[in-house]
DNA sequence: CATTTACACTAGCGCTTGCTTGGTTAGCCT
DNA sequence: AGGCTAACCAAGCAAGCGCTAGTGTAAATG
């Protein structure tokens, strides 16, 4: 009953829950599964979370939060060039998609299972992240690096990047850095072909 | 018990099921919901489908099948130009994403709920569709219309297009045709900027 | 030493789920 | 008229679901 909001135990639960949600989907993952994976009984979960929804919310929140932090860091450690910033964002996105893969897959595929309040809360986080992208894309457009409408390009690029969770193999030929370069090279940037 | 494989009634069931699967998700859609929406009792569904899985499979199969047919038609009604073919594919993809929206959203977001045999069966359909894309992209690369690796570009483009189900509003400023042009214009095609 | 806190357990309630069974109805074909 | 069949219904089973109430215990805290 007495729910604690931050503890190592809770963090571990979120990690394992994310993995299960990816493997089985949110609805098919039962509280009993998660409990067994943690070596405890199902009732004990509700000491850490109010209900099952809150577990889902926590998983997505952590992933989105990390993505935002990493993106901001990547932009700060960057000289002012529009192309460098674009590359840094793409690379950061791919890297967080790898390190927090489970959380991001859950965010992408189980978003609809969130109830209204959670969706609202997490929506603001996600909006902040997308705003970052729109700023960087806007700069790249002004610098003549790419062509098109700011919002349209942002959505196309985000779509292309998010789709990578379906096929990208980190053991394959491309590193996140190389993949980011390939993406930018594909866009109509005459000077970015070999970035 | 005695399952029929093709009938108007079954087709209608598939249509309604697709809508429910989008609204509620596959797991949260109960056979009772679907039955009620059709004005029948839940047990009667199993005259048309062996089990719930088969309904999901039928929904996705119809969507993917239509996409394949429409893409082939679009390519046939096309002169041989690589750019025209690329545009025709993108436009066909966006149009089928609209007309069969429910089925495609289900295919994108509920794929994991398929059992192994269904996934295998539908996988071949999807592979055939992606092969079409790779051919068209390959031609565009050879024509110097775009840059990059054939497989990489195919995946980036498909990702960008599929992501549109998240944000595209058919009542908005862009028609599928215009959107396809914008996407191709964004790619590094010097002669395609105003296609 | 007494109390609180964090975490886990046992045991189950109340409900929903996919699916089955056995039988009925209405229309079509010969 | 008689038979066939697609379509449906009523009733319910067995299993599984999220979640709760109440209790135990070891470590931290006063």
Q: Which of A112, A23, A19 is nearest to A59 (CA)?
A: A19
Q: Which of A36, A50, A28 is nearest to A110 (CA)?
A: A28
Decide: helix, strand or coil at residue A49: coil
pLDDT digit string, tens, across residues A16-45: 999 999 999 999 999 999 999 999 998 889
Residues in B touching A157 (Cβ below 8 Å): 160
Where does the pLDDT of residue B115 fall: very low under 50, low under 70, confident under 90, or very high at 90 and above? very high
Determine what percent of chain A is predicted with pLDDT higher than 70.
Answer: 93
List, in sequence order, the alpha helices (H) in A8-149: 8-24, 31-38, 52-76, 82-99, 101-109, 116-142
Residue A119: is its pLDDT beyond 80?
yes
Residue A143: the pLDDT is: 92
Query: What is the distance in angstroms between the Cα of A23 and the nearest Cα belonging to chain B?
Result: 9
**Beta carbons within 8 Å of B102's beta carbon, 6+ residues apart:** B15, B18, B19, B21, B22, B59, B63
Domains and CATH numbers, chain A: 53-187 (1.10.357.10)
What is the secondary structure of A135-153 as a DSSP string?
A: HHHHHHHHTTSS-S-HHHH
Q: Structure pTM?
A: 0.92
> Which of B186, B189, B194, B195 to mutate against chain A (most A CBs within 10 Å)?
B186
Q: Is the Cβ–Cβ distance between B144 and B46 less than 8 Å?
A: no
Residue B191: the pLDDT is: 45
Does A44 or A107 have the greater pLDDT score?
A107
Q: What is the residue-averaged pLDDT of chain A? A: 92
Determine what percent of chain A is predicted with pLDDT higher than 90.
Answer: 86
Residue B110 to residues B31, B54, B102, B122, Cα–Cα distance (Å): 16, 13, 11, 13
Q: Provide mean pLDDT across the span B109-134.
A: 96
Crossing angle of the two packed helices A82-99 and A116-142, in degrees rounded to 10: 150
**CB pair distance less than 8 Å for A28 and B28:** no
Give CA–CA dist B45/B32, Å, rounded.
9
Residue A165: is its pLDDT beyond 90?
yes
Residue A113: the pLDDT is: 96
pLDDT digit string, tens, across residues B122-174: 999 999 999 999 999 999 999 999 999 999 999 999 999 999 999 999 999 99
Residues 104-123 (A) with a CB less than 8 A from some CB of B:
109, 112-113
Residues in A touching B162 (Cβ below 8 Å): 159, 163
* CB-strand contact A158/C, under 7 Å: no
Where does the pLDDT of residue B192 fall: very low under 50, low under 70, confident under 90, or very high at 90 and above? very low
Residue B75: is its pLDDT beyond 70?
yes
Q: Which secondary structure element, helix H or strand E, spans residue B166, and what is its range?
A: none
**Beta carbons within 8 Å of A81's beta carbon, 6+ residues apart:** none
């Amino acid at each position: 009953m007495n729910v604690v909001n931050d503890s190592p135990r809770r963090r571990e639960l979120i990690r394992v829950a994310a993995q299960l949600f990816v493997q089985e989907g949110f609805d098919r993952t039962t509280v009993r599964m998660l409990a067994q994976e943690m070596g405890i009984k199902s009732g004990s979960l509700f000491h850490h979370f109010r209900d099952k929804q809150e577990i889902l919310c926590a998983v997505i929140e952590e992933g989105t939060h990390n993505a935002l932090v990493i993106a901001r860091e990547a932009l700060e450690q960057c000289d002012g060039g529009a192309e460098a910033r674009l590359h840094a964002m793409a690379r950061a996105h791919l890297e967080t998609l790898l390190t927090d893969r489970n959380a991001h897959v859950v965010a992408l595929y189980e978003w609809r299972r969130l109830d209204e309040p959670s969706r609202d809360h997490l929506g603001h986080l996600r909006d902040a992240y997308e705003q970052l992208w729109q700023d960087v894309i806007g700069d790249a457009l002004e610098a003549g690096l790419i062509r098109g409408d700011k919002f349209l390009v942002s959505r196309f690029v985000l779509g292309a990047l998010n789709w990578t969770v379906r096929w990208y193999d980190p053991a394959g030929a491309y590193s996140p850095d190389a993949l980011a370069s390939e993406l930018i090279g594909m866009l109509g940037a005459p000077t970015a072909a070999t970035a």
